[in-house]
Structure 1
Amino acid sequence: MKKIALYTIQSINYGNRLQNYATQEILKSMGYDVYTLRNNPKNSEIAVIIKLHPFMKLVKPILPLVWKIKVIIWGFMKIDKDNNYRLFNKKIKFSADYIGENGVSDDLGKYDVIIAGSDQIWNTEFEFVTENSFFPFEHPCKVSFSSSFGIDEIKDDKKIVECLKKFKALSVREEAGAKIIKKLTGRDAEVLIDPTLLLSEKKWRMISKKPKGHVDMPFILTYFLSPKCKEANEQLSRLAESGMNIYELFDEKNVVTRCVGPAEFIYLIDHASIILTDSFHACVFSFLFDKPFIVYNRNRGGNTMNSRLSTLLKKFKIERKYVMSELDNDIWEHDYTEGYEQLEIEKAKALNFLKSALEDGVKN
């Protein structure tokens, strides 16, 4: 079985964990053995401890065991969001190899293909995105799958340009990303959907998990990655008059929302009466699960509707769900028939891209 190494962001974030899982499952369904590369060397935390406390070298042989015991005890003592993330990560097959800001594994040649993506792995405004994120090493088959810059432009860095030119196949998640690659390299990159859209709602429900403490009653769900804007607060106040429960993700005082990991996130969107958000992946899953939703600007001044969100809404003909669109929109309406027809076209496009890129890479 041919081996694929997958490089993506790994953090406490619903979207990056879910797209990592989705990409893995799609590649597995195509017959590949898929490994997710770590962002840092395995047991890098232990290496840091030894560096800061040289005397710890004396007990270095037993440090991995001590670390495992620490994680197990911490898990029992702190059954919360972080623990649910760890449980979800068990669904992902991680390699001991890595690509990160601290370096790159020497043994990446054992993989037939190395895939970059998805998520904002090329957002140069993130501290952890370095030259290594663009694969400066030699490998016969480097593929970018629905990767994202997350911003509208980046500096013309010669090293990054040379790295991008060496990819066998390039695809991005939003139109702005395709323009960046065209400007920097002269190459055309396909614009593909986020990997989370490639799995059916049925498959997502199979791994969703009811949050601890949740009672089966109608509720409003909010998920904002920035402070709620004025329009969102006003809309939420009007909805609150219905008497429905309100779950606000990141509300650490709420017994339900403080424990939500990726699997619980899917469950809450699937069962919410309506979703208010400024999150790309909250919009994705609201669309997939046929839920009413409203999307707002990030509350950071100015028009902060980013390219990936505008690409998503435009592609699936749901721009009306953007509160600043000035289009007629009944907030409870969720007829996404046209969008679902387009989704089938986009799924075929993404799978054809992967099939072509991977087959060519394996042959060579």
Structure 2
Amino acid sequence: MKKIGIVSFPRYFNYGTYLQLFAMQQMVARLGFEPEIIDYDPYNDSGRKPDASPGAGGFLRGTVLRSVASRTLSYLRSYRRTGSRDVDYRQERNIRFAQFLSGSLRLGRKTYFDEAQLQADRPSCAAFIVGSDQVWHPTAHHEDSTYYLGFAERHQRIAYAPSFGVSEIPPGSRDWIRQRLLEIPHLSVRETAGAAVIGELTGRQVPVVLDPVFLVEPRDWAEFGESVGRRLGPYLLCYFLESDSYMRDRALAIARSLGLRPVMVPVHPRDTESAESDFEYLSGVGPREFVDLVRQAAFVCTDSFHGTAFSILFNRPFYTFRRYDNPYQAANHSRIDSILRIMGLEGRIRGIGQPVCDPGDLDFSVANSAIASLRRESLEYLDDALSIATRTEPLVPVQKVNLAAC
């Protein structure tokens, strides 16, 4: 069986990141290949400096020890703050993530800490997939060609549903990104805004495909989930990455109007340090528990792409809140705007100052039809790309493009 390497963020403890990775590996296996997630950890300085201590950041910056437990303990120590409730929530959550990483994700045996290591000792795979998630965000990794599969043979490169996370590329990054895109023969994106960016930079028309979580049927996600929601009774679930006060206030108002118990999956320190006592904070929520909490919720309030995605998949009434109000930061909403537009649910997004109206039942018939159709098209794209990329030699040699001629 041919092995397929997957490049994303395997050391980033985030629900959407891990769930799309899990979905991608399942789809690759379903298409008859052996998936392997490339353990690329460029944010772990200790991989190059044995005495380096882990920093406090969104990415897992543990020790170079290979055991997940050692990495997790190092990560937790960097977050410890005396007297903060946030510590306990983080500890229990991160233990769940570590268990999921070691037990459910097919992570490669070797950890790579920079581009040079990958290029010098490339994993033995027939093809490589980059995506999904915001792997192409122009400010996330400074000209790291790993996320454009620069270490792989050109004919082996497949981009499945990567996201730029923005609708415009900064001028200083445009030429570098253009060249990387032109070197990927099998190219797709997750958002219509991303397709427009690629069209402007390269002149190529590329397909917009579904985020991997949509490729898995809701019934399969239901079996995947760890049952926790049923014990809570009728509840409104909050999952906020920014957790501004206006989001929490609106969520509480909806919960009261519908007679629901307001519960929150804490992510940001503000979640557990706020003075509000109306929320019940849920501890020990890993990826499996998260899926079940969305599935069992009577209503969902979120500012997250994947919080929105799973609400749509499970046909849960929801509102998605904008995190930003100024025009520059609002560009970060392109991924959510795109999926809501595709699903015919544009009315479910709310910004600062916008009233929350009619939070009740939703008609998901248009969304369900769109998912079914796009799921077929997305799987066809992935199947075709893998079939071509895994051939021993490329059908047509890929030539380097002279940027001066573009």
- Give the shorter-chain TM-score range: 0.7 to 0.9
In the alignment, which of 366, 378, 383 is matched to residue 338 of structure 1?
Answer: 366
Cα distance in 1, alignment partners of residues 24 and 108 from structure 2: 15
Question: Which sits farther off after the overlay, 169-178 or 242-251?
Answer: 242-251
Cα distance in 2, alignment partners of residues 354 and 162 from structure 1: 23
Cα distance in 2, alignment partners of residues 162 and 133 from structure 1: 13
Shift of 1:99: 6.0
Cα distance in 1, alignment partners of residues 96 and 336 from structure 2: 27
Sequence identity of aligned pairs in percent?
24
Cα distance in 2, alignment partners of residues 25 and 103 from structure 1: 29
When the two chains are superposed, the root-mean-square deviation of aligned CA atoms in Å is 3.3
* 1:83-110 superposed Cα distances (whole Å, 9 cap, x missing partner): 0001111211111345665544233362
Equivalence for 1:36: 37
Any idea what SS the aligned residue of 2:4 has? strand
Q: Mind listing any 5+ residue stretches in structure 1 that lack a counterpart?
A: 53-62
Equivalence for 2:94: 82
Change in CA separation of 1:157 and 1:235 when aligned onto 2, cut-off 3 Å: closer
Q: Residue type matched to 2:231 in 1?
A: V
Cα distance in 2, alignment partners of residues 127 and 163 from structure 1: 14
Q: Residue type matched to 1:80 in 2?
A: E
Change in CA separation of 1:205 and 1:320 when aligned onto 2, cut-off 3 Å: same
Q: TM-score w.r.t. structure 2 length?
A: 0.77
1:6-85 to structure 2, matched below 5 A, reads: 6-10=6-10, 11-40=12-41, 45=46, 47-50=48-51, 64=65, 70=70, 80-85=92-97
Q: Residue type matched to 1:94 in 2?
A: L
Cα distance in 2, alignment partners of residues 148 and 360 from structure 1: 23
Cα distance in 2, alignment partners of residues 81 and 232 from structure 1: 21
Any idea what SS the aligned residue of 1:258 has? coil
Change in CA separation of 1:129 and 1:29 when aligned onto 2, cut-off 3 Å: farther
Equivalence for 1:5: 5
Equivalence for 2:396: none
In the alignment, which of 301, 323, 340 is matched to residue 298 of structure 1?
Answer: 323
Equivalence for 1:312: 339
Alignment partner of 1:284 is 2:309: yes
Shift of 1:138: 4.6
Shift of 1:70: 4.3
Cα distance in 2, alignment partners of residues 323 and 264 from structure 1: 26
Q: TM-score w.r.t. structure 1 length?
A: 0.85
1:1-364 to structure 2, matched below 5 A, reads: 1-10=1-10, 11-40=12-41, 45=46, 47-50=48-51, 64=65, 70=70, 80-89=92-101, 90-97=103-110, 101=114, 103-105=116-118, 106-108=120-122, 110-127=124-141, 130-139=144-153, 140-154=155-169, 155=171, 156-211=173-228, 215-228=231-244, 230=246, 233-240=249-256, 243-250=259-266, 251-252=271-272, 257-299=282-324, 301-302=326-327, 304=330, 306-323=333-350, 330-363=358-391, 364=393
Shift of 1:347: 0.5
Cα distance in 1, alignment partners of residues 245 and 29 from structure 2: 41
Cα distance in 2, alignment partners of residues 217 and 231 from structure 1: 23
How many residue pairs match? The answer is: 351
Any idea what SS the aligned residue of 1:115 has? strand
Change in CA separation of 1:131 and 1:339 when aligned onto 2, cut-off 3 Å: same
8 A Cα contact 1:293 1:331, kept in partner: yes
Q: Residue type matched to 1:314 in 2?
A: R
Change in CA separation of 1:100 and 1:346 when aligned onto 2, cut-off 3 Å: farther
Shift of 1:328: 10
Any idea what SS the aligned residue of 1:335 has? coil
Change in CA separation of 1:7 and 1:202 when aligned onto 2, cut-off 3 Å: same
Any idea what SS the aligned residue of 1:215 has? helix
* 1:289-338 superposed Cα distances (whole Å, 9 cap, x missing partner): 111101111145458371111111111111121236x9996311122012
Cα distance in 2, alignment partners of residues 70 and 358 from structure 1: 36
